[in-house]
Structure 1
Amino acid sequence: MDSLKMLLLKESQQHHLSLQDASLETWHDLLSRVVQKKISTNRIAKDTYATQLFYFSMEFLPGRFLRNNLDHLGWLDQAKSFLSTYEIDLHDVLNTENDPALGNGGLGRLASCFLDSMANKKLRGHGMGLLYEYGLFKQEFLSGRQIELPDRWKQSSSYEWEQKPDAEYTVSFWGKVHQHNNGDRLVFEYTDQEQVQAKLYSIPITGYSQEQVNQLYLWKACPTEIDPSLTAEQQLLKRKKATEITEFLYPDDSTSEGMILRLKQQYFLVSAGAQHLFTLAHRHGGIRTFFNHYLVHINDTHPSMIIPELMRLFMDVEGLGWDEAWAIVTTSVHYTNHTLLAEAMEKWPIVLFQPLLPRIYEIIVEINERFCRSVWHHHSEKRDKISDMAIVSYGHVHMVHLAVIGSNKVNGVSTLHSHLLQTETLVNFAQMNPKKFTSVTNGITHRFWLHRVNPALSDLINEAIGDTWLQDPFELIKLADFQTSTPFLEELSKIKKRNKQTLIDTTLTFSETKVDPGSLFDVHCKRLHGYKRQLLNALHIWHLYTELRENPDRLPFPRTFLFAAKAAPGYAFAKKVIHYIHTIASVINKDATIQGKLKVIFIENYRISLAEQLIPAAEVSEQISLAGKEASGTGNMKLMMNGALTIGTRDGATIEMAEHAGEDNMFLFGANAADTKKPYFSKSYYDKDIRIKNVLQPLVNGTFSDNAIYSDLYYSLIQNNDEYRLLQDFSSYAQAHKQIELLYTDQLLWQKKSLANIAASGYFSSDRAIEDYQARVWTSI
C-alpha cells in the first residue's frame, strides 16, 4: 500500500506541480485530492436492501474537512512530517480551508455530530440539506454595533469536498391543481407552475473506523431550461427566482416576500429529497416496501413538509390509496423537537401557504380533517381541544402539529425538555398516544470537540487510559482514578494555560485589549437571545466592576470575560445587548484604577473554527438560560469535555451533566423550571436589592451617554416585567460567581473538579445519542 508521501508525489507529478514553490492553498488542494481518492476506495460494498436513514435538516455545520479526514485515515502524522520537509506547517495549510457556512448554531452542529457518529457506528445514515451560496451573515462590529455582511464562504463556484452525483429533479410552486377520474383512481394535473431544478451534490462523511463512508447530500436550486422566447429581462427574473432559494441561509421573513422565500426553501429541500428517495425505492424493492429500506428523520419542524410530499408522490405518482400511503409515511418518518419557545413553533399563514403549494395544502387539509375526525370519534375527552391540536386552524398551518401527527416517533432532546413537551407543550398529543413520545438527550462527538480541537489534552488522556475512548467515550470515566494524582492535575493545568495563550496569540491578538493569560477565562459563546441571558452576565460584570472601583483588592486574581455570539439581523433587543456589552467593555478595559483585574472582550463572527480555539481555552462555561427554555444545549457539553466548569441554571442537559459529574463540580444557581411558573414581579427585586438598582440605573441615568440609549433594556426589565427573569436570578448568580472565585484560588482543587467533568463527559457523546436513537426511535436499523 502506498504511503501518503508516495501518493502526494504521484499526484503532484500528474498535475505538474512544483512542491518546492507550492502555496499553502496548493498544498491544501493537493492533500484534498489525495484524501478524496482514498476515501472513494474505502467504501464498503453494502447490502443494497439494508435500511438507510436520511436525516433532513435545514442546517449542517461540519467544520473544516481536511484535518478530520486525515485523522480518520491515520495520515495526520504522515502529513505533518512530509510537509515539514518543505518547511510547511500543516496547521497553516489546514487554516486555508473555509468553514462551510451551511448552518448557524447548535442545530446544525448537532446534525453534523450525528453524521460523524453514524459513520463511526457503521450505520448507513446520510444528511439531507441545502447547498447555500451564502451563510447566515459575516458579523463585524462598528462602534460596538453588529454589522451583517454577506458570508460568501465558497471561494469559487465549486467547493473542494463536494461531488456531483447524477441526480436532478424538478420542484414546482404556485399554479393550479386539476383532478379527474381515470378508471378507479384520481389523476392530478398541474398548470401554470413555476418550476425550479434541484441539483444534487454530496460531501463524503468518513467514520473514525475508516470503514464506513456516508454522504451529506446537499441540494442546489437552479433554473430549468430557459425558454428562448423569453425576453432577456424575463430570463434574468426566472434565473433569480430559482437561485435565490439556496442563496442565503434563513432569509429575513419579516415580510410576506421573505416568508414565501423561507417556505420555498423548506419545500424545495423536502421535495427534492423525497423525489430522490422515491427514485431509490423504485430501484430497490418498490414503494410498498419503502419503510423496510428507508427511514426519514426530521430535525426540528423545518422539513416537516416531507410528510405531505411523500403522500403526494405515493398517491399522485405511484397511485396508492390514502390509507396505504399514510401507513408507509407514518411508519418511516420520525421527528425531533428542539424548542419550547412559542416563537420557534413554526406556523404559516394560509393566505401565503395555499397559493404557493396548492397540492401540498390540499393533502395537509385532508390529513387535518382525518385527524380531527379521529379525535372526535375515539378521544371524546379531547373534543374541546381539537382546534388547539389541528394542523390547519386560526388561519395558519401549524408545522409542529403536522410533524407530530405524521411521525412514528417524536422525541425531545433532554430529560427535562421531553418532560415539558409531554406535560405542557404537546400534552394533548402525548395523552392520546404516549407511546409515540420518547426522549434522547443530545450528544456531540468527542473525536471532534476534544481529540481534534484539544490535541494536547487528547494526548494526555491517551497516555493515562489509552485511546479506546475515541471509539467508546464512556471509557473517559477511567480518568476519575487520576483525581488524586498531583502530577496529572498539574499537567492538566499546564495544557489549559497553553490553550489560553494560543487563543491570545491567534484570536485575541486582533483585540485592542491586552489579556493576561493567568486570568480566569469565563466564556459565554452561543446564539444571542433573550432567554440565553447574555444580559444577566453583562449586568453582573458591571456589578463586579463597581465593586472593584470601591475596592481594587476585591478580586484575588484577574478575570477575563469572553463573549462570542451573533444576533439575528431583525432582533433589535439582542443587537442592543451586543452594543451594551461593547460599551461596558470600553469603560472597564480602559480603567487603570482596577489594575487590569477585569477585562471584557466580544469576539466577532462566531463560527466553528473560532469555537475550536475558544472552547479549549475556557475555564468557566456560562450556561445561564432561564430554566425551562433551553431544550438541551450542546455548547455546554463541548466546554465540559474540555475541562471548563459550568455555571448554570437547572435547564436542558445541564441538569443531566450535573447528575453525571456531580453538583459539587459545577456552580448551579437560580430558579428551576417549576419556579418559573410562579407569579413574578421584577420591580420587587429592583426595590429590595441595591445591587440591582446600581447595575440598572446606569442604563437610564446618562452614565453611558446623554440620551440614555439603553433605556429600552431598562424598561424591558422593569416596566415589561423582565420576561426572562434576570432579576430573580441575579443574587443567586452573583453568589455562584463568588464560589468560583473562592475555588479558583485553590488550583489543585479546581483541576480536580475540571477532571471530574472531563471524566463524566462520555455520556454526552453523539455515539451514545445515536445508540439511543437506534434503540428508541429507529428500531428497524
Structure 2
Amino acid sequence: MPNATEDPLAARILDTLIHRVGKDAKAARPHDWLAATILTVRDDIIDRWMASTREAHAAGAKRVYYLSLEFLIGRLLRDAIANLGRTPEVTAALASLGVDLAEIEEIEPDAALGNGGLGRLAACFMESLATLELPAYGYGIRYMNGMFRQRIDDGWQVELPETWLAHGNPWEFERRESAYFVGFGGDVAANEAGQVHWSPAEAVEAVAVDTPVVGWRGKRVNTLRLWTAVAFDPIRLDQFNAGDHEGALAGQVRAESLVRVLYPADSTAAGQELRLRQEYFFSSASIQDIVRRHVQYFGDIRTLPDKAAIQLNDTHPAVAVAELMRLLVDHHEIAFDAAWEITKATFGYTNHTLLPEALESWPLPLFERLLPRHMQIVYAINAKLLREARKVEGVDDRAIAAISLIDEGGERRVRMANLAFVGAHSVNGVAALHTELMKQTVFADLHRLYPTKINNKTNGITPRRWLFECNPGLTALIRDCIGDAFLDDASALSAFADHAGDAQVQERFDAVKRANKVALVDHLKGVMGLRLDPDALFDVQIKRIHEYKRQLLNILETVALYDQIRSHPERDWQPRVKLFAGKAASSYHNAKLIIKLANDVARRVNSDPSVGGLLKVAFVPNYNVSLAEKIIPAADLSEQISTAGMEASGTGNMKFALNGALTIGTLDGANIEIRDYVGADNIVIFGLTADEVAAKRGGGYEPRAVIEASRELAQAVNAVASGVFSPDDPNRYKDLMNGLYDHDWFMVAADFDAYAAAQRRVDGWWDDQPAWRAAAIRNVAGVGWFSSDRTIREYAEQIWGVM
C-alpha cells in the first residue's frame, strides 16, 4: 500500500479506520472504508454545523421549521463531499489507500425515509435552505424499516422490510436531551379557574436523532431532526419474571410501531389508528421542540411568529395546528383568541394533491378517543370559523358544510386539510395549474372566505444532486460551453441554448448520453440479467404506481406497438426500450395488478424473436433515489402522462428535462410551465386538458364507445383481457380492463389515440438525431428556473419572512 501519510486526508481516513472503526487496513472490507470515510468527512461537517448554529443564535435569527412525514434523502456521502467541494480530494486520498470512492459510494444504503415526490421534494428543500444560508430544521420520523423494499416475484410486487439501519447510521446523532412526552387517550378536566388539564392514558417518549444537511459549497449546515419512540417502561420486570416474556415487552413494541413503517396500510381500523398516532407523535414532538427552543432563546411565547416559520408539507402534520393551540392555551395560559392569532401567523400549509382520498380525514370517534383535548380545540376552532363564515354574504348552508372542519356527510370525520387551511396564514399550491384548481375545487368555499390566502410556489429540484452529481459528464460539457455561473445560479443554464445547433456540442452531448445509457445497461444486466441496446430510444416512466399517473396507458400503448411491429415488419420502426419502476401501496390492488401486467407484457415481448430487438420492456424493482440517479441521466424520453388536473406538480419531469430527456406529457402539473420554459417545439404534449377532463366526467362520457372506435386500443384491451399476456390465469386482468369499459375515471381510453399518435411523432423526431439533440439541449437550458433554490427563495420572501 502506498504511504498514506503523504496525503493528510488519507492519513486521517486511515486513523479513523483503525481507531473508530477498529479495522486494520489489510483486513478492511469496502463497508469499513465507507464508514471510515463518512466519519472523517463528518468531522469537518460537524465544525460547520456547530458554527452555523452559533451564528443563528448570535443573530437571533428567525428559523424555518419544515414538517414532513417523508424525507427521501438518498445516499449522503457523495452529496456531502460534492457540496463541500471535496470530491477530487477525497477521491485522491482513497486512491492512495487503494480504495475506489465510486465503489464504496455504491454500498451506502439509501435512507428509507420516504417513498416518492413528496419526500424527495422535502429533501431538495432542506438542501436548498442550507445553500441559501437560511437557518432551518426539518422534522420527521426516523423509520426503522421505511415503506418497504420491493422485490418482484413472478411479476408480482412483494413487500419486504427495508433494513437500512441494520448496521447503524454514521450520519446521525441521538439527542437525549431533546426528548418529549407524547400522550394518547385519557381524560380532560378543568379546574375552578378554567384551566384545562389533559391526562393521557398512555404515553411514549419522542427522542430526537439529528442528521446534518450540507448546503452548496458548505456555506451552511442545517439539521434534519427525526423522531424515534421509546417506551417509558421498556420492559415490565414483574411480567417478565412471572413468565410473560412477550407481554413484558409490549410497551416497547407498541412504541416502536410508531416509527417502524412509513404509510402503514390504513385499510383496517388498526391501520388507521396507527397512521393517526404516527402523525400526532411526530407533530407533537416537533411543536414541543420548537416552542421549547423559542422560549429558551427569546423568552416570550407571544413572539413565536417573529422567530419561527412552520411549514406543513401536505396534510400529514396538520394536527400540529391543534397541538400548538394546546400548548399555548393549556401550558402557556394564552387566551384562546390570542393563541389562534399566534398559530395562524406561525403556520404555512403546502397542499400537494386534489385527490379527495389524499386530503386526510379521520373518523371522529377515533380522533376523539386518541386526542380528546385536541378534539375540543378543533370544535372550538370550528365554532369560531363557522360564526365568522355566517357573517359573510353569500355563505349558505352548502358552503358552511364544505368549510366546516367536521364532515357531517355520513360518518362524521375530522377534515385535516381544512384544519391546515384555516390554521395557516398562507396556503400554497405547487404548480400554477394546481393552485388554480385548488381555488376552484377542494378549497373553493374556503377560498371565497379567505380570498388572499392561496398562492402558488411551483416546485423545484436541487441541481446539485440532479445534475452535478448524477450526471458529471453533462455538467462538464455545460461548463465548457458557458462557464461556471450555473453552478451557483441555475438560471444561468439558459445560455446553453445558444449551443443547441452546434454540431460539435451535439456530438459531445450524444457521447455523454450514450455513456450514461451504457452504465445503466450494465447495471440492469447485473441486477436483472437483462440485455438492452444502448442505441435504442430509452422511454422511461419511473414514479409511484397509481392509476392517475397512468402507467396503464403506457402499457396498453406498448401492447399496441408490439402488435403493430409484428403486423408491419416492413415499416421503419425505431428501436425502443420501455422502462418502468415504482412502488404500489401495499393495499392498492389495482396498482399492484398494473405492476404484474407490466412484467407479464415484458416477459412476452422480450422473448418474442419476431420483434427483432425493436422493443424491450422492463420493470426495474425497488425504485429509490440511487436508482433514479442511474436511470434519469440515461433517459431519452420522459413519461409525464397523468390525467390532466390530477398531478399537483411533479418533480421527476424537472429532473428528466435537466438531464436532457424530452417530455411526452399532458398539460398537467408543472408540465405546463416546463413547456413554457423549454418551448412548445421541444416537448411532446397530447391529450385532454383539465377542463376537458372535468367536462367529460360531468357530461356522460361513454368509454365503451371510445374503445370500440379505436382499433389499436380495442385490440390491446382485448388481448390483455383475454389472457394473451397471462396464459397461466386468463382472467387475471379481466376486471381491470372492464373498468376501462365501465367508467374510465382516469381517461385512459379517452387519451389513448392522442397518446399513440404522440408516440409516433416521437419516432419521427428520434429518426432526425440532430433535431432531437438540439431539442434535448434546449430542455437542459430551459429548466434552470425549476431549481429548488428559486422555490425556497419564494417561500422565504413571500411566506416565511426570512429574506
Give the alignment of 1:722-737 within 5 angstroms: 722-737=744-759
- 1:698-724 per-position Cα deviation (integer Å, ceiling 9, x unaligned): 1333423263211011111002x2111
C-alpha distance in 2, partners of 1:634/1:226? Answer: 42
- 1:743 aligned onto 2:765: yes
Q: What is the deviation of 1:250?
A: 0.8
Contact 1:623 1:647 in 2 (8 A): yes
8 Å contact 1:438–1:776 — kept in the other structure? no
Q: Relative to structure 1, is the Cα distance of residues 590 and 229 closer, same or farther in structure 2, using a 3 angstrom cutoff?
A: closer
Letter in 2 for 1:7: R
Map of 1:345 onto structure 2 = 359
Find the counterpart in structure 2 of residue 657 from structure 1. Answer: 674
Instruction: Measure the CA separation in 2 of the matches of 1:228 and 1:479.
Output: 66
Q: Which residue of 1 aligns with 2:734?
A: 711
Measure how far apart 1:69 and its partner are.
1.1
Mapped contact 1:522–1:619 kept (Cα < 8 A): yes
Match of 1:276 in 2: 289
Decide whether aligned partners of structure 1 residues 433 and 514 sit closer, same or farther in structure 2, where only a CA change above 3 A counts. same
For 2:630, the equivalent position in structure 1 comes to 613
1:11 partner amino acid? T
Which of the numbers 37, 60, 66 marks the counterpart of 1:55? 66
What secondary structure, in the 3-state scheme, does the structure 1 residue paired with 2:354 have?
Answer: coil
Distance 1:106 1:572 in 2: 21
Shift of 1:636: 0.5
Task: Write the mapping of 1:164-183 to structure 2, written as runs, cut at 5 A.
Answer: 164-165=174-175, 166-182=177-193
Match status 1:35 vs 2:41: yes
Alpha-carbon distance, 1:227 to partner: 7.6
In structure 2, how many angstroms separate the alpha carbons of the residues matched to 1:532 and 1:477? 30
TM-score (norm 2): 0.95
CA distance 1:204–1:379, shift in 2 (3 Å):
farther
Q: Please show how residues 8-27 of structure 1 align to structure 2 within 5 Å.
A: 8-12=13-17, 14-15=19-20, 17-27=23-33
Matched, 1:536 2:553: yes
SS at 1:231 equivalent: helix
Shift of 1:209: 2.8
1:59-85 C-alpha deviation (Å, 9 max, x unpaired): 001111111111122221111112222
Structure 2 residue 524 is matched with structure 1 residue 507: yes
Contact map agreement 2:73 2:123 (CA 8 A) in 1: yes
In 2, the alpha carbon distance for the partners of 1:174 and 1:709 equals 45
Which residue, out of 449, 452, 466, partners 2:466? 449
Whether the 8 Å contact between 1:548 and 1:594 is mirrored in structure 2 is yes
Letter in 2 for 1:315: V
Q: CA deviation at 1:642?
A: 0.3
**Alpha-carbon distance in structure 1 between the residues aligned to 2:214 and 2:528:** 37
Please list the CA deviations of residues 39-63 of structure 1 after superposition, one character each: whole Å capped at 9, or x if unmatched. Answer: 1112233242210010000000111
Contact 1:353-1:361 at 8 Å conserved across structures: yes
The one-letter amino acid paired with 2:486 is W
Q: Which moved more, 1:599-608 or 1:68-77?
A: 68-77
> Does the 8 A contact of 2:142 with 2:259 survive in 1?
yes
- Match of residue 208, structure 1, among 196, 216, 224: 216
Structure 1 match to 2:796: 774
Q: Give the Cα separation in 1 of the matches to 2:734 and 2:294.
A: 59
Q: Which runs of 4+ in 1 moved over 6 A?
A: none
Q: Hey, what does 2:328 align to over in structure 1? A: 314
After superposition, the C-alpha distances for 1:507-549 in whole angstroms (9 at most, x for unaligned) are 3433343211111100000000000000100000111111111
Structure 1 counterpart of 2:169, one-letter code: Y
> SS at 1:524's partner residue?
strand
The runs of 5 or more residues in structure 2 that have no matched partner are 1-6
1:132 partner SS = coil
Contact preservation (8 Å) 1:521, 1:617: yes
Which residue in the other structure is 2:268 paired with? Answer: 255
Q: 2:232 aligns with which of 185, 199, 224?
A: 224
SS at structure 2 position matched to 1:102: coil
| Matched residue type, 2:55 | K
Where 1:718 maps in the other structure, the secondary structure is helix
Q: 1:275 to 1:419 in 2, by over 3 A?
A: same
Instruction: Tell me the CA shift for residue 12 of structure 1.
Output: 4.2
Q: 1:24-53, CA deviations, whole angstroms, 9 ceiling, x for partnerless residues?
A: 111111111111110111223324221001
Q: Secondary structure at the match of 1:164?
A: strand
From 603, 612, 619, give the equivalent of 1:586.
603
Instruction: Classify the secondary structure of the residue corresponding to 1:563.
Output: strand
- Contact kept in structure 1, 2:227 and 2:285, CA below 8 Å: yes
Q: Which structure 2 residues correspond to residues 28-107 of structure 1 after superposition, within 5 A?
A: 28-42=34-48, 43-44=51-52, 45-48=54-57, 49-107=60-118
**TM, length-normalised to structure 1:** 0.97
What percentage of residue pairs aligned between the two structures are identical?
Answer: 37
Structure 2 counterpart of 1:35, one-letter code: V
Counterpart among 783, 795, 800 of residue 761 in structure 1: 783
Q: Which amino acid aligns with 2:766?
A: Y
Unmatched tracts of structure 1, length 5 or more: none
Is 2:170 the partner of 1:160?
yes
For 1:326 and 1:675, locate their aligned partners in 2 and report how far apart those are by CA, in whole Å. 41
Measured in 2, the distance between the counterparts of 1:220 and 1:227 equals 17
Backbone CA RMSD of aligned residues: 1.6
> In the comparison of the two structures, how many residue pairs are matched?
776
Once the two structures are TM-superposed, the CA of residue 6 in structure 1 deviates from its matched residue by 4.3
